[in-house]
Amino acid sequence: MKYYRNTVPYTAIHGNFFSWRHKLTYGSALVTGGILSMTAWLAIYLLTSSLA
């Protein structure tokens, strides 16, 4: 299976399809994670500043 993945037909069939799909999935996950972490950081910052 490992050897087959390095051959040209596998790359031609799966390579291009998976590359843009993985980029899209990874990009959206990265953006969502960034927004969530920023929101969490902001919430913690506001909580600590209001308590202090």
This prediction has a pTM of 0.49
Q: What is the pLDDT of residues 7-52, one digit of tens each?
A: 666 666 666 656 777 778 888 999 999 999 999 999 999 999 988 6
Is there a contact between 4 and 10 (Cβ–Cβ < 8 Å)? yes
Q: What is the pLDDT of residue 32?
A: 94
Q: Rounded CA gap, 51 and 10, in Å?
A: 58
DSSP result, 1-52: -HHHHTSHHHIIIIIHHHHHHHHHHHHHHHHHHHHHHHHHHHHHHHHHHHH-
